[in-house]
């Protein structure tokens, strides 16, 4: 049985980690921490998890956390990088659901996140946990940077094209929408019900923190990749994410359906839908699945539109973290992640 600790378990991703790990056959949650909720039982803060865990939140303490096999960080950016070195030194494996280890360049990280990196020497070591791309690196890693939700949806949507070298040297457009839970659980006026209900808006068009992560992912597979125009939008729903990707093809005769089906045939969490399908976020709600739909716009044989739908809290965060955990410790990659979506 793999024993894990969770640092910062009071947000939406922490709650999603708990929900999924409650049904994991090979993992025991041994400790969960929160400075603000120390002494509070999990089921007092999250009544939906009654009878699942007999644990209280505790103050985060590196020495105590170092007893466990794997530590998840579901914390604000800047927290994991201050605790991870000591935990790694103690022999723990670390999975950071935040952004502390996603970017390889410490100066770039500081530019986007507004603080100096506390352990830049670990950036090159951290395995980027987009499992479908870096499966072997994740399996041997002691430190995994769990990808952001937008980079996950965009990366999986573009992966077969990039690996095949099938994208022309022209701007790639990533038009993405996310549910409100992507903004976190903290109270903010901009995400109050009355502010988002019956409304729809873009944000971060002049610069979003996931932009350099998306570009890094793409350029790992295609060093000479063109610019990416990434525009996120806020949708008045609790959870879910849809990326609509517009690309120009290097070879208009390519069979995209066959290409995607072949690339993802053996991937347990990526489902290439039948031709003509338009994925919906509700089809993947609460799951670690990514649904992909492929289209060729009429009248423009050289252009493709790829839809990529995930749950931002699951495949975009907690589910992918557990998928990476499974790889790191040698468990079945699907363990704890096979429940179907909830409908309606």
C-alpha distance from residue 223 to each of 167, 213, 218, 259 (Å)? 12, 14, 8, 21
Query: At a CB cut-off of 8 Å and minimum separation 6, what does 169 contact?
Result: 224, 226
The CB-side HSE value for 300 (13 A sphere, CA atoms) comes to: 11
The CB-side HSE value for 46 (13 A sphere, CA atoms) comes to: 24
The CA-based dihedral angle spanning residues 32, 33, 38, 42, taken in that order and rounded to the nearest 10 degrees = -30
Edge-first strand order for the sheet with 172-178 is 201-202, 228-234, 172-178, 241-248, 303-310, 290-295, 270-272
Q: CB of 245 within 8 A of CB of 177?
A: no
User: Whole-angstrom Cα distance, residue 4 to residue 29?
Assistant: 5
Q: Phi and psi for 268 in degrees, rounded to 5?
A: -70, -20
Of 92, 149, 176, 290, the active-site residue reads 149
Q: Is 92 a catalytic residue?
A: no
Q: Which residues are part of the catalytic machinery?
A: 149
């Amino acid at each position: 049985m793999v024993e894990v600790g969770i640092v910062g378990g009071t947000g939406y991703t922490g709650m999603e980690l708990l929900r999924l790990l409650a049904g994991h056959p090979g993992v025991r949650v041994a400790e969960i921490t929160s400075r603000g909720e120390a002494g509070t039982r999990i089921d007092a803060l999250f009544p939906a998890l009654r009878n699942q865990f007999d644990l209280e939140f505790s103050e985060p303490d590196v020495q105590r956390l170092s007893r466990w096999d794997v530590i998840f960080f579901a914390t604000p950016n800047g927290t994991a990088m201050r605790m991870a070195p000591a935990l790694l030194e103690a022999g723990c494996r670390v999975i950071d659901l935040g952004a502390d280890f996603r970017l390889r360049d410490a100066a770039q990280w500081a530019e986007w996140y507004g603080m100096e990196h506390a352990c830049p020497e670990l950036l090159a070591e951290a395995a980027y946990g987009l499992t479908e791309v870096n499966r072997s690196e994740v399996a041997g890693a002691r430190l995994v940077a769990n990808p952001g939700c937008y980079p996950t949806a965009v990366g999986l949507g573009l992966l077969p094209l990039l690996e095949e070298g099938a994208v022309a040297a022209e701007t790639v457009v990533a038009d993405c929408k996310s549910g409100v839970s992507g903004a976190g659980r903290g109270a903010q006026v901009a995400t109050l019900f009355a502010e988002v209900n019956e409304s729809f808006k873009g944000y971060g068009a002049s610069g979003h923190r996931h932009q350099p992560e998306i570009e890094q992912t793409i350029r790992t597979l295609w060093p000479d990749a063109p610019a990416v125009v990434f525009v996120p939008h806020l949708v008045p729903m609790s959870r879910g994410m849809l990326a609509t990707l517009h690309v120009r093809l290097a070879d208009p005769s390519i069979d995209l359906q066959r290409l995607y089906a072949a690339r993802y045939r053996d991937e347990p969490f990526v489902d290439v839908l039948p031709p003509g399908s338009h994925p919906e976020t509700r089809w993947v709600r609460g799951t670690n699945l990514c649904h992909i739909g492929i289209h060729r716009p009429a009248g423009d044989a050289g252009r493709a539109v790829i839809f990529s739908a995930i749950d931002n809290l699951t495949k975009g965060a907690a589910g992918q973290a557990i998928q990476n955990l499974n790889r790191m410790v040698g468990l079945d990659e699907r363990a704890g992640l096979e429940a179907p979506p909830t409908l309606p």
